[in-house]
Structure 1
Amino acid sequence: MATITIHDVARAAGVSIATASRVLNGRPTVGEEIRKRVQKAVDELGYSPDILAQSMRLGRTQMIAFVIRDITVAPLASLVRATQDVLHAADHELLIACSEGERDREVDLLRRMSRRRADGLILTTSTEDDPVLVDAWKSAGLPTVMFDREAHGLCDNVLIAHSEGLRQALDHLFGLGHTRIAMLTGQPTVWPARSRVETYREEFAKRGLPVDEELLRARSFDTDTGFMEASSLLSLANPPTAIIAGGTSILPAVLRATQSRGLRVPDDISIIGDSDSDLAMLATPSITVVRWNSSDVGQTCARLILERLADPDAPPRQIIFPTEFVSRKSCAPPKA
């Protein structure tokens, strides 16, 4: 079967090759009647443009790279799916890479994305201030949207307002009578952990309470580390009466550690998770969470990178998404 070309489309539509090309490239300088004729010819002939040739002509690959920590985490998977939907509708492909939160892997991925000539990058890094990582990102030279990392005006970024939901969560626990409140989160070299740690300290200080440093574990978002830290907390001579899982992948670790010690939620320990998931909603009892809309965030990341490609010289933008405290059945007053 002969390959259908743009020449065949132009001939069938009764227009010049240049006009057919303008229609296929979405140029606005073509009348609606001609546009419909060309589209009809495309549909009838089953024409599919040569993506490689089109990329070479336009100087773009129509590909956006997304480097994210872990695609298996439900809220992050939802976010990536929403990003892909918006990009697909705009005729862009999404190349997804998981960094596992490892600096060296992120550096390697940034170099690979640059070699693959991605048009733009959506990025969430394991740290914000590592000079090797920062240099690798700058060397890639890709228009970037930073997700949930402070960009300091260097590129567009989308942040989650973790502090506002955490304040409500702590207020809820203090109101129930808890003072031995533990929190697990990542290292404060990234925005989510840093904002949570600052808020945690501020809320204790506001009530005139000292922070027991043994209860504040800001070390990693990794699930295995979360399990070890939660198990360590529950083994203390004076264990916490409540735990806040400050990260999308930490809640399963906390629940596993609690179950392994035969503790009942919320009779023996109160638990609050970060971001919503089927696990939080379907667990017995259902888990109180601080949640944010992952689909809205993903769509915004996609729109920002598309707008950046359309206007490379526009000033960097920062968009902050709210968080919401959702009370369920996993919190109760501490045991007497």
Structure 2
Amino acid sequence: MMQASSSSRRRQPIHDDETDGGDVLQRPSHQPPATSRHRGATAARSQPHARGDEAQAASGSSGQGQQPRVRAADYRPQPLDRDSAAAVGQMIAGYGPHEDTIRQAMASLEEATSDLCEVEETIDNEAFVQLDADYRELVDAQAEAKTRKTSLEALLRRLEGEPTVLDPATEYSNLTCEQLEAYSALTTRKKYGQSQEYVSFRESAWAAVEDSAMPPINEFLPAEQGDEDDDDDDIQVGGTRQDYKCPYSAKLLIDPVSSTGCPHSYDRESILSYVGKGEKVCPASACNVKLSHRSLKPDPRLAKRVAAYRRREESRILSAPGTMIE
């Protein structure tokens, strides 16, 4: 009787409520799979409180001791209102140091290139070609920074005129991409021939090895499809000979300063003596610009060119036939 009772217990089906206890009867490995009803109950037990969690997620609350659930919507672009104008202004101001870094890199590269050209006595070598390509990349980086800054300024103007910008991320992206694509489509001449920084870079390299005027900048840049649309009246940058003599003292520049109101440069000591404490008309021929201490600024770039010119003149004198070197 005891044996029959034991066998009867082993053949009894496993009910759902029996699995809630501490002892769970194990099905032998040869026993057929559980019915669909049993599988459903097992799946429900393997994901406890699933429905409760869904309800909590829908209501935005969490259970006791649980971390709040992260919602993807919290990380999507949010609208901007006028209270956000200060933050946008800070983003715009943040481009200032970035632009300063680019300008410093340009100045350093221009100086290094000028020194190299003076030592090599040429601008027609592989080293200069690589430095020229590097400088053009800086011009491109400067254009991109200006574009991104302009897009943020456009958003800021929108906030000044409208209470809310609903999708600022998309608007910023569209504005920026449109302008960057337009810049990328420009020809080489239109990208760099109109860049004052690039023209100055080429002028420094030219002045390091040549005394004559630099040819127009377009002579260094290949013509491409689209350049034929340029007006014939467009002024080509370059071709002006740098005069290294002071228009007041007529002597070679020493510690040059340049006017902020006209394109002329002077020897510091001579021009400051001429101007005195007031204002005087620029001593250059046919120039009527008023000069003062405030309008005269140091010009280290010109000082380097004058120094290179002086060294070339000394080299010519020493190499001239019949020159006696003590």
TM value normalised by structure 2? 0.21
Considering only CA atoms, is the larger Rg found in Structure 1 or Structure 2? 2
Structure with more contact order per residue of length (Cα contacts < 8 Å, sep ≥ 6): 1
Normalized per residue, the structure richer in strand is 1
Whose helix proportion is higher, 1 or 2? 2
TM-score, with length taken from structure 1: 0.21
